[in-house]
Amino acid sequence: MPSSLKMISTRWDDPQGHTLARYRETGGYEALRKAMAQEPDAVIEEVKAANLLGRGGAGFPCGTKWGFLPKDVFPRYLVVNGDESEPGTYKDRLLVEKDPHQLIEGVLIASWAIRAKQAFIYIRGEMAFAHERLAAALNEAYAAGLCGKNIMGSDWSMDVIFHFGAGAYIVGEETALIESLEGNRGMPRLKPPFFPAAKGLYMQPTVVNNVETLANLPWIINNGAAAFTAVGDPKACGTRLFALSGHVNKPGVYEVDFGTTTFRELFESDEFGGGIRHGRSVKAWVPGGASAPWFFEEHLDMALHPAPVGAAGSMLGSGAIIVMDDQTDMVRAAWRLVKFFAKESCGKCSPCREGTNWLEKIYRRILDGHGRMDDIDLLMDVADNISPGLTWPPKQTTICPLGPSAASPLASSVRKFRDEYEAYIRKVA
Amino acid sequence: MARFTPANVDRARELMGHYPRARSAMIPMCHLAQEQDGYLTEDAMQHIAELIGCTPAEVYGSASFYEMFKFHPVGKYVIGVCTNISCMLLGGEELLTHCEEKLGIRTGGTTSDGMFTLEEMECLAACTRAPMLQVNYRYFENLTHDQTDVLIDDLRAGKRANDVPPHGTLSRIRQSIPADRRAARDTI
Ligand SMILES: Cc1cc2nc3c(=O)[nH]c(=O)nc-3n(C[C@H](O)[C@H](O)[C@H](O)COP(=O)(O)O)c2cc1C
Ligand code: SF4
Ligand code: FES
């Protein structure tokens, strides 16, 4: 059933929701006080018990990630991933613009738990309004003694720094984010050895967490892990923000129970999507951002839960759901995404740098009316060289998952709508 | 072609002070230079290198990775139309073509009066409010072609100066940490 409980979007309709005054009136910074009354390790245990899955894409349990930090190696850093650029993804920007203090409180709780020396909130460069809201909120928080020296009058001191990018999708990948934060070209590092928990920012232990992940922390600390796991499914707890875009009557960013709401409910219920527009039917959708393999009618009754979605060969990724109705040109839709990955390839490894650009050129040739029948298999073959087997989760010949991501829309559309590719090519021949 | 003004040197030093290593301020400092001059000039990159303690080539090397940095003058207003998938499904490509016609330039071009540069953008995290565009990274969403025409006319007439500062200015609010509120400066 559609959810009415909101955990992290409670202040979105409040025009003053971004101010410190309103945040405090509505219980803000009480969770920080509560966390600081506990030992850091106790906070980590609470977050582990809440089974909070990362909201940035990979869905890794947050508490477990914090537990990977090597004991007694300091300084440690917290880096907040607000680069939000995966096509279809729209939630972190709202969390920053509409409720920046909730994020700051989450950052402080996480920093207390992992004993971070400093935290950096990296916001995508193109989001000028989010920059203004976050800078203003941090200035308020500093003035109120919530950040910096002697936080809340205690002897704990830590700076929270607003950092911003300059336009590059790949910087959302955590090791590229760290490179970028060090002032370099945003190219991913090889893992191993450069797992951020061991060798992150300035080669020190570092936690990289998504904005939405951290925005959940105040609620969890205030209400306890048990209350959190009571919402949604026990293996996918709490709520999640899904950006529902494309051919639905009511596109929007919706906070829903994680793990129990189905795609059909999200698309059709009046509370959310309100049905496919013009009374049409759905042909395909992207369930978790541009990198995710596509879903079709047979997946409509599946819950928005990582286990069944993963078993069906895709992912919920960054919570980006893009709906395409029965009139959509699937070749063109796939091309848009492949073109995106080709453009955003950082160029560090050749299967991705060369491969994605070949793919884009082959697509262009098909769309421009110069396609050959063998181009369809050629597309699959080049994609297979980037991601052997074309399965999900992907195998990769590359340094990071960007290259294999380009294969997702391609393989999904070729497998399901090969006739549309053939029609494009036949039109000319 | 300009080095930082004295006021901006102070701002640049403040930015460098936010990080354990000055070089981490590279991107914010490049934005500061772009705010000052409208684009990233060679003199500014030289100056940034001097302040950080690296070579100008390193500044250019980093900056040239990122799309927002411009190495030649652009329009006062940079219009970026999203044509990625969610916007494409709801008319983003047509909106871009409409802007080309309205402005009389091709995507990538700048109007002869230096007012507008037109760019094709990838997803800007406004997908549920498609089609959309940005002007100097400010959002205009759920746009019809007529609304777009009004927006462009208003910009040209100087009527939107309050919501859209000239190209290069991102946040008009800076994070500034009072000296007595800072945690101890840590370098590594
Ligand atoms: C190509 C690529 C782009 C990514 N972009 C983002 C992003 O914009 N925001 C984000 O939070 N995570 C992004 N990620 C995932 C991060 O690498 C990382 O897993 C995440 O920030 C961890 O946070 P979480 O554990 O709280 O989810 C991206 C990953 C890849 C491979
Ligand atoms: S897979 Fe692509 S984006 Fe990732 S490191 Fe290689 S070239 Fe760069
Ligand atoms: S696809 Fe245009 S804003 Fe996301």
The per-residue pLDDT for range A51-68, each reduced to its tens digit, is: 999 999 999 999 999 999
Contact assignment for A126 to B137 by CB distance below 8 Å: yes
Nearest CA in chain A to B82: A87
Give the model's pLDDT for residue A5. 84
| Rounded Cα–Cα distance for residues B72 and B114 (Å) | 12
Indicate which atom in ligand 1 lies nearest the CA of residue A55.
Answer: 27
Q: How far is A181 from chain B (nearest CA, A)?
A: 5
Q: How far is A115 from chain B (nearest CA, A)?
A: 14
Its pTM stands at 0.98
List the Cα angle B9/B15/B21 in 5-degree steps.
115
A165 Cα–ligand 2 center, Å: 18
Q: What are residue A207's phi and psi, to 5 degrees? A: -105, 130
| Rounded Cα–Cα distance for residues A20 and A309 (Å) | 39
Q: Are A62 and A46 in contact (CB under 8 A)?
A: no
A134 Cα–ligand 1 center, Å: 20
Q: Is B88 near ligand 3, meaning CB less than 6 Å away?
A: no
Residue A3 has pLDDT above 60, yes or no: no
What secondary structure letter does DSSP report for A285? E
Within 8 A of B175 by CB-CB distance, chain A residues are 135, 138-139, 161-162
Residue B27 has pLDDT above 80, yes or no: yes
Q: Are A197 and A207 in contact (CB under 8 A)?
A: yes
Minimum CA distance residue for ligand 1 atom 6: A172
Q: Positive or negative CA dihedral for B165, B170, B171, B177?
A: negative
Pairing, β B133-135 against β B77-82: antiparallel
Q: Is B130 near ligand 3, meaning CB less than 6 Å away?
A: yes
Q: Residue B170 is nearest to which of A131, A244, A286, comparing CB atoms? A: A131
Give the model's pLDDT for residue A98. 98
Q: How high does pLDDT run on average in chain A?
A: 97
A425 Cα–ligand 3 center, Å: 29
Residue A4 has pLDDT above 70, yes or no: no
Residue A119 CB neighbours (<10 A): 24
Pocket test for ligand 1, best of A210, A240, A316 (most atoms within 8 A of CB): A210
Q: Is A345 near ligand 1, meaning CB less than 6 Å away?
A: no
How many residue pairs bridge chain A and chain B with CB atoms within 8 Å of each other?
195
| Rounded Cα–Cα distance for residues A28 and A18 (Å) | 11
Within 8 A of B134 by CB-CB distance, chain A residues are 126
Give the model's pLDDT for residue A226. 98
| Rounded Cα–Cα distance for residues A251 and B129 (Å) | 7
| Rounded Cα–Cα distance for residues A284 and A266 (Å) | 14
| A230 closest CA partner among A259, A268, A251, A204 | A259
Residue A392 has pLDDT above 80, yes or no: yes
In sequence order, the β-bridge partners of residue A176 are: none
Best of B175, B176, B180 to disrupt the A interface (most A CBs within 10 Å) is B175
Burial class, A427, CB count within 10 angstroms (exposed 0-12 / middle 13-18 / buried 19+): exposed
Distances (CA, A) of A390 to A59, A306, A339, A406: 21, 20, 18, 10
Within 8 A of B179 by CB-CB distance, chain A residues are none
B162: left (phi over 0), alpha (psi -120 to 50) or beta: alpha
In sequence order, the β-bridge partners of residue A282 are: A325
Q: Is A212 near ligand 1, meaning CB less than 6 Å away?
A: no
Pocket test for ligand 2, best of A398, A405, A408 (most atoms within 8 A of CB): A398
Q: Are A394 and A162 in contact (CB under 8 A)?
A: no
SS3 A11: coil
Pairing, β A252-257 against β B77-82: unpaired
A87 Cα–ligand 3 center, Å: 6
Best of B26, B134, B171, B186 to disrupt the A interface (most A CBs within 10 Å) is B171
Within 8 A of A163 by CB-CB distance, chain B residues are 18, 24, 27-28
Residue B64 CB neighbours (<10 A): 12
Q: How far is A247 from chain B (nearest CA, A)?
A: 7
Q: Is A87 near ligand 3, meaning CB less than 6 Å away?
A: yes
List the Cα angle A407/A409/A415 in 5-degree steps.
90
| Rounded Cα–Cα distance for residues A22 and B29 (Å) | 33
For residue A79 the two structure tokens come to 């880096």
- pLDDT band (50, 70, 90) for residue B40: very high
SS3 B60: helix
Q: Residue A129 is nearest to which of B26, B139, B188, comparing CB atoms? A: B139
Q: How far is A225 from chain B (nearest CA, A)?
A: 31
| Rounded Cα–Cα distance for residues B2 and B47 (Å) | 9
Contact assignment for B171 to A131 by CB distance below 8 Å: yes
| A44 closest CA partner among A119, A121, A111 | A111
Residue A1 has pLDDT above 60, yes or no: no
Give the model's pLDDT for residue A429. 60
Q: What digits encode the pLDDT tens for the residues A253-295?
A: 999 999 999 999 999 999 999 999 999 999 999 999 999 999 9
Within 8 A of B69 by CB-CB distance, chain A residues are 166-167
Residue A101 has pLDDT above 80, yes or no: yes
Angle between helix axes B145-156 and B92-103 (nearest 10 degrees) is 40
| Rounded Cα–Cα distance for residues A420 and A403 (Å) | 24
A33 Cα–ligand 3 center, Å: 39
> Which residues, in sequence order, are CB contacts of A323 under 8 Å at separation 6+?
A244, A245, A246, A247, A248, A267, A273, A276, A282, A285
Give the model's pLDDT for residue A428. 64
Nearest CA in chain A to B186: A117
Q: What digits encode the pLDDT tens for the residues A200-223?
A: 999 999 999 999 999 999 999 999
Give the model's pLDDT for residue B157. 97
- pLDDT band (50, 70, 90) for residue B124: very high
Q: How far is A123 from chain B (nearest CA, A)?
A: 11
